[in-house]
Amino acid sequence: MSSWPRITIITPSFNQGEFLEDTILSILNQKYPNLEYFVVDGGSTDNTLDIIKKYEDSIDWWVSEPDRGQSHAINKGLERATGDLINWINSDDLLFPDALQHMALGFINNPEADLFIGETARIDLKGHIRSISAPPSILSFSSKYYILPIGQQSTFFTAKVVKKVNKIREDLHMLMDYDFYYRILSLNVKYKIINQLIGAIREHPLAKGYFRKDLCAEESARYRNSAQDNGLKQLTVEWIIKFLRVLDGSILRGKMLTMKLNGKKISGHGWSGSLITS
């Protein structure tokens, strides 16, 4: 294709040198012809700087300095981003092979959309797939009740919609991604489901979602209360959304992909062994 859309990827980082090289390679090995890549580090004291410098010729901009947390780091990247499509990939997460190409084609074929959402895998410490989730087709409904069964690693957004929602809220540290999508979807923007594996979230004891469960619960409570303010109890909404996901096939697709790929290993170099397509 003669003109691929520009895609900006931001990697916020802090003391995760154990995983950072894998993350960087999963992005650079896409070989996407119009990539803008930033690494925004919060002043790590481990081997992070050595890894960044190893790949700095392929990184468009990087910085290592104290910041106000992950949300602030992402916003620093968003301020510099020039891509048509944008996402952040955390320093312990991955992109699947050809993920950027799938997103670019979705963008080209659906110019009216502002949100592009693919399938997400959960992987263990070593990169083995444990489960896969497929996004539902009911996001316009579910987002009104603050439920979004989608993966941040697999959700890309347009540059023009960032200007409308004023970037990431820095007072949120766990659910800033979902808040960001809630605000985007509240504008009644169009979204496109991409039926491809896009991103992988790595589950490990040092992941923020594990050791800051208290903060996650606190921020989640804000949205549960908002859902009830919208006229339906949270539990009722969750059952309705589950039923609709059964009808649209997204739960079944996720289960089938999990059965097919459970235990397969993914890394910054791609699949271990033959590439298995979805």
Structure tokens at 223: 């949205």
Domains of the chain: total: 1
Position 60 in a domain: yes
φ/ψ of residue 187, rounded to 5: -85, 0
Q: Is residue 228 scored above 80 in pLDDT? A: no
How do beta strands 190-202 and 113-123 pair?
A: parallel
Position 67 in a domain: yes
The residue segments making up the domain with residue 39 are 7-271
Residues with Cβ within 8 Å of residue 171, at least 6 apart in sequence: 71
Position 264 in a domain: yes
Position 41 in a domain: yes
Chain segment 142-186, per-residue pLDDT in tens:
988 888 999 999 999 999 999 999 899 999 888 899 999 999 999
Chain segment 95-110, per-residue pLDDT in tens:
999 999 999 999 999 9
CB 70 within 8 A of CB 180: no
Position 277 in a domain: no
Chain segment 175-224, per-residue pLDDT in tens:
899 999 999 999 999 999 999 999 999 997 766 655 456 766 777 777 66
CB 63 within 8 A of CB 132: no
- Residue 27: which of 18, 17, 36, 15 has the closest Cα? 36
Chain segment 262-272, per-residue pLDDT in tens:
999 999 999 98
Position 1 in a domain: no
53-74 b/e (C-beta count within 10 Å ≥ 16 → b): eebeeebeebbbeebebbbbbb
Q: Give the domain CATH number at 267.
A: 3.90.550.10
Share of the chain above pLDDT 70, in %: 89
CB 41 within 8 A of CB 14: yes
Position 276 in a domain: no
